């Protein structure tokens, strides 16, 4: 019966003051359903929890009340309340649940680190499947992974429910650095005109003002000691060169752009402490969509509860046909140019940038001729053939 | 403390009557003090300063919220009788 969530008891009564009986029940906040009075007979339904009060009130008003059909959750629970097996099963369920939550059931490793090595480190720290959750040395495991695993930049070991999550991220590989003890030359990294130089070690070969091709020798690591002997040095210094670069940008008048403004699908999760409970069935994934997440605290009568609600929203991408005017194209080209300069020319000084706008049938093309200044020095190791410096008789002795 | 006093404290009960006729078969009356008469053809609700007479056929009654009464059935007429002294 709608409105009586716990269940219902249908009643019928005869005689007495039926209107005052209904009024008193109304005054006491008793929920009544389908009350009908006809021919001196009152019928209706109340919640099983309110039936006793209804019966007492009926007696007070001189009504002979009889309970009729009954049903709902209350009576279903009452029917099973004497079944001991249910209690045992319930206790077992909670026991298994608590046992399951008190031990580690699964170890999940994410990131780009060698998994075998991480697992062996975790085992050393006592983090294995079946280990008790209370005694987990998560901080120790994090420290050990940082120290022992190869090239690890960031690690997080946490225990969520009965699962240990290990998130390991490798560091960016270090750039190749020449051994400062090994001899090397400095060559040009690109075609340029040399503007200035600052040589700390080695001999400057190219004069300031002269042009140099890519790979051309700028500073030599092979110098003479003045006594007829050659010394091989690790050449070091900065050579500032000026060079040109032409870049081409194009923005069409019409273009199909993917914009996340389509259908929204929300997935909600309930969070209690470290545990996350999905409030949906199936997998939370929508293809070709943008994902965003929002977390809010759950409040009860204005007070904060330990529960949080995460709402993950997938917004479908839709294809939007964009039509641009000339001004829009120019604005977009300027933006592309600015982004390009920030991404690729941030380490150079832009001396000049000559822009040429070329209107085409499909859109507008922007050709920019850059004149740039920057360090063009590139170290190149000197391959020294030591056998060539050996005395002739030694070489003879080695040969068969 | 009765339900009315508790609701008054919470500010949920104003005592002002409010009658909403949802259709010719459903009427909601809020802040109903008592039921003066009730049978399948006539329901008289006592509200603050007025009595509401609902005439119809197969009238049934149920309550919702606090002091809210819903009358369902085939409603033929609705009469509001103001008390002379208020």
- CB contact A16 to B (< 8 Å): no
What single DSSP character describes residue A254? E
Do residue B61 and residue A38 have CB atoms under 8 angstroms apart? Answer: no
Higher pLDDT, B86 or A286: A286
Q: Are strands A230-232 and A236-252 parallel, antiparallel or unpaired?
A: unpaired
pLDDT given for residue A10 in this prediction: 92
Residue tagged 């005054």 (tokens): A27
Q: Residue A166's closest CA among A99, A135, A121? A: A121
pLDDT given for residue A73 in this prediction: 86
pLDDT given for residue A12 in this prediction: 92
pTM: 0.41
Q: How far is A301 from chain B (nearest CA, A)?
A: 13
Rounded (5°) CA angle A155-A160-A161: 155
For residue B24, which phi and psi values (nearest 5 degrees)? Answer: -75, 5
Q: How far is A31 from chain B (nearest CA, A)?
A: 6
Q: How far is A79 from chain B (nearest CA, A)?
A: 28
- CB contact A37 to B (< 8 Å): yes
pLDDT given for residue A396 in this prediction: 39
pLDDT given for residue B84 in this prediction: 67
For residue B34, the chain A residue with the least C-alpha distance is: A23
Do residue A26 and residue B36 have CB atoms under 8 angstroms apart? Answer: no
Cα separation, B31 vs A365, whole angstroms: 75
Highest mean pLDDT among A1-5, A203-207, A335-339: A335-339
Indicate if ipTM > 0.90.
Answer: no
Residue tagged 């040009």 (tokens): A188
Cα separation, A95 vs A247, whole angstroms: 69
The answer, yes or no, to whether residue A393 has pLDDT greater than 50, is no
For residue B66, the chain A residue with the least C-alpha distance is: A29
Contacts of A43 (CB under 8 A, 6+ apart): A10, A11, A12, A13, A34, A35, A36, A37
For residue B47, the chain A residue with the least C-alpha distance is: A23
Do residue B62 and residue A35 have CB atoms under 8 angstroms apart? Answer: yes
- Cα–chain-centroid distance for residue A168? 14
Give percent above pLDDT 70 in chain B. 77
Q: What is the per-residue pLDDT across A34-88, written as a single tens digit (0 to 9) for each?
A: 888 888 899 999 988 889 999 999 999 999 999 999 888 888 888 888 888 988 9
Cα separation, A42 vs A40, whole angstroms: 7
For chain B, list residues whose CB is within 8 angstroms of any CB belonging to chain A: 2-4, 32-40, 46, 59-64, 66-67, 69
b/e sequence A174-195, b meaning 16+ C-beta within 10 Å: eeeeeeeeebbbbbbbeebbbb
Q: What is the per-residue pLDDT across A49-63, written as a single tens digit (0 to 9) for each?
A: 889 999 999 999 999
Q: Around Cβ B16, how many Cβ atoms within 10 Å? A: 10
Cα separation, B38 vs B56, whole angstroms: 11
The strand pairing partners of B47, in sequence order, are: B32, B50
Q: Which two tokens stand for residue A400?
A: 């068969």
Cα separation, A298 vs A270, whole angstroms: 10
**pLDDT, average across residues A297-312:** 86
Residue B11: half-sphere exposure toward Cβ, Cα within 13 Å: 0
The answer, yes or no, to whether residue A399 has pLDDT greater than 60, is no
Q: Which ranges of A113-260 does DSSP label H, i.e. alpha helix?
A: 115-124, 138-148
pLDDT given for residue A385 in this prediction: 64
Residue tagged 């999905």 (tokens): A278
Chain B residues inside the 8 Å CB shell of A19: 34-38
**pLDDT, average across residues A244-260:** 90
**pLDDT, average across residues A371-377:** 92
Smallest Cβ–Cβ distance between B60 and the set A18, A25, A36 belongs to A36
Q: What is the per-residue pLDDT across A96-147, written as a single tens digit (0 to 9) for each?
A: 887 777 888 888 888 877 888 888 888 888 888 888 887 788 888 889 888 8
């Amino acid at each position: 019966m709608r409105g009586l969530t716990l269940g219902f008891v249908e009643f019928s009564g005869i005689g007495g003051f039926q209107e005052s009986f209904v009024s008193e029940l109304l005054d006491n906040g008793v929920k009544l359903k389908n009350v009908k009075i006809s021919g001196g007979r009152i019928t209706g339904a109340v919640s099983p929890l309110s039936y006793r009060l209804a019966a007492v009130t009926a007696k007070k008003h001189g009504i002979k009340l009889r309970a009729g059909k009954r049903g709902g959750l209350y009576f279903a629970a009452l029917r099973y309340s004497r079944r001991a097996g249910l209690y045992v099963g319930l206790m077992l369920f909670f026991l298994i649940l608590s046992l399951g939550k008190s031990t580690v059931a699964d170890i999940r490793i994410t990131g780009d680190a060698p998994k075998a090595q991480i697992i062996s480190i975790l085992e050393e720290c006592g983090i294995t499947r079946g280990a008790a959750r209370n005694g987990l040395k998560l901080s120790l495991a994090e420290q050990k992974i940082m120290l022992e695993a190869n090239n690890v930049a960031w690690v997080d070991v946490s225990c969520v429910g009965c699962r240990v999550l290990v998130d390991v991220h490798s560091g960016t590989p270090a750039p190749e650095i020449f051994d400062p003890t090994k001899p090397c030359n400095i060559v040009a990294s690109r075609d340029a005109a040399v503007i200035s130089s600052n040589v700390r070690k080695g001999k400057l070969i190219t004069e300031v003002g002269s042009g140099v091709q890519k790979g051309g020798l700028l500073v030599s690591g092979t110098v003479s000691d003045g006594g007829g002997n050659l010394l091989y040095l690790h050449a070091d210094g900065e050579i500032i060169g000026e060079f040109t670069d032409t870049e081409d940008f194009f923005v069409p008048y019409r273009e199909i752009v993917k914009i996340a403004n389509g259908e929204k699908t929300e997935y909600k999760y309930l969070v209690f402490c470290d545990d996350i409970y999905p409030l949906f069935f199936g997998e939370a994934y929508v293809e070709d969509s943008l994902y965003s997440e929002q977390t809010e605290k759950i409040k009860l009568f204005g007070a904060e509860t330990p529960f949080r609600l995460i709402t993950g929203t997938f917004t479908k991408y839709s294809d939007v046909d964009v039509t641009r005017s000339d001004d829009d194209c120019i604005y977009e080209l300027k933006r592309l140019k600015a982004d390009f300069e920030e991404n690729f020319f941030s380490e150079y000084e832009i001396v000049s940038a000559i822009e040429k706008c070329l209107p085409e049938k499909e859109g507008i093309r922007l050709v920019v001729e850059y004149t740039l200044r920057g360090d063009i020095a590139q170290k190149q190791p000197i391959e020294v053939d030591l056998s060539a410096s050996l005395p002739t008789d030694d070489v003879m002795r080695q040969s068969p | 403390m009765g339900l009315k006093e508790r609701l008054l404290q919470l500010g949920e009960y104003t005592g002002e009557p409010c009658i909403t006729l949802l259709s010719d078969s459903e009427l909601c009356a809020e802040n109903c003090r008592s039921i003066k008469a009730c049978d399948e053809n006539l329901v008289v609700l006592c509200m603050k300063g007025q009595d509401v007479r609902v005439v119809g056929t197969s009238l049934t009654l149920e309550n919702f919220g606090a002091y809210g009464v819903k009358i369902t059935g085939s409603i033929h007429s609705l009469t509001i009788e103001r008390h002379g002294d208020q």
